[in-house]
Amino acid sequence: MSTRATTRAQRIAVVGGGPGGLYAAALLKRLAPDREITVWERNAPDDTFGFGVVLSDETLGGIEHADPVVYAALRDEFVRWDDIDVVHRGVRHTSGGHGFAALGRRRLLEILQDRCRRLGVDLRFRTEAPPADALRAAYDLVIAADGVHSRTRETYADAFGPHIEEHRNRYIWLAADFAFEAFRFEIAETEHGVMQLHGYPFSDRESTVIVEMREEVWRAAGFADLDVRETTERAAKVFTDALGGRSLRSNNSAWLTFRTVVNDRWSHGNCVLIGDAAHTAHFSIGSGTKLAVEDALALAACLHEHPTIEGALQAYEAERRPVVASTQRAARASLEWFEDLSRHLGQPPRQFAFNLLTRSRRVTHDNLRLRDARFTAAVEEEFGCPADTPPMFTPFRLRGLRLRNRVVVSPMDMYSAADGVPGDFHLVHLGARALGGAGLVMTEMVCVSAEGRITPGCAGLYTSAQAAAWGRITEFVHTRAPGTAIGVQLGHAGRKGSTRLMWEGMDEPLPAAEDNWPLVAASALPYKPGSQIPHELTAGEMAVIREEFVAAARRAAGSGFDLLELHCAHGYLLSGFLSPLTNRRTDGYGGSPKGRLRFPLEVFDAVRAVWPEDRPMTVRISATDWAEGGTSAEDAVAIARAFAAHGADAIDVSTGQVVDGERPAYGRSYQVPYADRIRGETGVPVISVGAISSWDDVNSLLLAGRTDLCALARPHLYDPNWTLHAAAEQGYAGPGVIWPQPYAAGSRRPQTGRLDAPKPRLVLPG
């Protein structure tokens, strides 16, 4: 390796002549004209994958400030439009105000190649780059822009730590010799299955057309056996309405499966990854070229700002990784939405269009309303929103309980009870959130026995004193926050009991010197190394616990709770029966899914029998264990369907916390797709949870038909008046949320100071 690797880069090798590599070369040469920069590209200058490229205004703004010459050339070539057309079952709905700019990929390459030549960059086409080791030894910096199949990345796989995931859909890039008037999504329901078209113009006479479908549909339709000409003819026939009977053409096109690329590290010594070599984002959000160009901008800026290559590469990755991670989360949500497209087909066409537009969570109800108020208002009207009412303040009924809005304060363990008795803390905690405007406030998991507690600080409903204390709280809610419902969540800790308070060590066993209690579970498996080994329940012992649930339910009814939720999630006792990872029984309560459901359903039936008929019951489940061999999404649908058949009024869909070695895919609203699937396949109402943090998220999820209620935990810890503030921020003052009279003076949002916009990332003279 060159000894100059810790100084400013003078000799730079770029592997890959795509947009990212070319733009990085041009920027770095412009920053220091005396640099020696060489670009290797194994293909010809005009060879390219795909047809059109879409860039956002944000990306174009960065290009304009960094290189006005390139920006001017692009500006003259772009075709611009504002609309998105969604065609479903013969009905087209159009949403405007989106602002797209596109040009041909080949023309983009020509512009960047010309800029590089004029600046003095050495471009070597039809030439394989030397081996990576040789480049690193001969050059100060090696920029690997060699795409999704990067040889550089594979050469140093141990250093970069790539993770590559191949997805379920097949797709092909084609083109049509006419310009769509809008970004067009069209759904075709064929005898073989669902197919979709993504189309957009990239000149005044050409459009990109991507045809996509599930692997099994692709095979059933015979595409696997067709050559390129036959493929284009068949695809044009399927989407003849969208194409107006016109033909399609290819550019050595091939059917592909999308690969998501993630790397643990983006640099190794004096070698750095950019673009698809470092990360990929599904084409349905149009971010591949955008990310590559923005990588080039950030890398050039960091090399300009930092005295050493090492420091520059560290700064580049620190700057770009959060942005890329956010984009990849959005891209995955979009990808999975299209993979599971058939689940949404039963929606009314306008709601289907809204669902499609908001699939990645980047377009939301609020910004879609700003872009196209007429379209959004029509979706709201179909949803049933009263006039001037946001979706979240639309009422919802569960059995005999009418909730005035769709916001739920999620159950949150407080670990602050004394001998299971909720005290003043619980009164203030739950009372404050009830005053805060939520439609439904849930207690923490309330344990059905002393031995069923998680910690010594957990609340219970196994004594009359506890029932009386809960009655004090429900009376406060009903009296001081009329219109707010309060629900109780009943559960038993199972193998996750007898642990310290959360802030003393979550899931850590109590010290031996303290009052440990014996644990019971579906099977004699400890939760984590060092945890107590539980006793495997006998049928007789299960009958005793079932009656403890029944007794607690009777006390809950007497205490005045409006709703009862049975906790069958997060690895607690009933959840432990449901998961194949925690239920290893060989009797009738284990083995098959039916066997694993047996005891939770017995408990549910027994509780439902004593719970007042007009009051609803819900069930919280973990829809995935986030662990190999655990509960799958298909299992979760079957579990939800079983509880619904036994009378559950809604399923509260959470995930994980079942086994210690889980690997959750965290992100904004990351658990909602599981609720969406359960709702779509079973028809039972669902409560969604999991990093739903804004009122805009709540409105978006409801209006898209992905959920019926939204439960929020941390936002309500941050702001007990979250729902009231959501109403104020949206200018809503209807019956869906009522400000308590003592708080009425605070119902207007306080004024705030002006915030200046961020400065451009890299500004160079023209």
CB-based contact 171:35 (threshold 8 Å)? no
Kindly tell me the number of DSSP H helices and DSSP E strands found in the chain.
26, 28
Give CA–CA dist 230/214, Å, rounded.
19
Place of tokens 């996509």: 212
Q: How many CA atoms lie within 13 A of 486 on its CB side?
A: 30
DSSP state of 637: H
Question: How far apart (Å, rounded) are the C-alpha atoms in residues 384 and 130?
Answer: 63
Cβ neighbourhood burial of 712 (10 Å; 0-12, 13-18, 19+): buried
What does the alpha-carbon distance between residue 583 and residue 586 come to, in Å, rounded to a whole number? 9
288-305 vs 309-339: helix crossing angle, rounded to 10: 170
Amino acid at 647: G
SS (H, E, C) 657-688: CCCCCCCCCCCCCCCHHHHHHHHHHHCCCEEE
CA angle centred on 650, ends 644 and 651, rounded to 5°: 85
The residue count of the chain comes to: 766
**Max CA pair span of the chain:** 85
DSSP state of 542: H
Sequence-ordered strand ranges (E) for 35-182? 36-41, 52-55, 79-81, 84-88, 91-95, 100-104, 122-125, 141-144, 162-176
The total of other beta-carbon atoms located within 10 Å of residue 749's CB is 12
Active-site pick, 415, 572, 589, 674: 572
Q: What are phi and psi of 531, to 5 degrees?
A: -75, 160
C-alpha distances in Å from residue 740, one per residue of 389, 477, 625, 721:
19, 12, 41, 11
Cβ contacts of residue 141 below 8 Å, gap of 6+?
Answer: 5, 9, 11, 12, 13, 270, 271, 272, 303, 309
By CB neighbour count within 10 A (0-12 exposed, 13-18 middle, 19+ buried), where does 99 fall? exposed
For 395, the token pair is 């009422």
Q: How far, in Å, CA of 588 to CA of 542, rounded?
A: 13
174 in Cβ contact with 277 (< 8 Å) = no
Interacting residues of 526 by C-beta distance below 8 A, sequence separation 6+: 495, 532, 533, 534
Tokens representing 429 are: 């905690």
CA distance 159 to 272: 11
Coil, strand or helix at 515: coil
Would you tell me how many other CB atoms lie within 10 Å of the CB of residue 669? 25
Contact 711, 569 (CB under 8 A): no
Decide if 572 is catalytic.
yes
Reading the block at residue 141, the tokens are 């910096």
Tokens representing 121 are: 């960059």
- The string of DSSP letters for 319-380 reads HHHHHHHHHHHHHHHHHHHHHTGGGGTTS-HHHHHHHHHTTTSSS-HHHHHHH-HHHHHHHH
Catalytic positions are 572
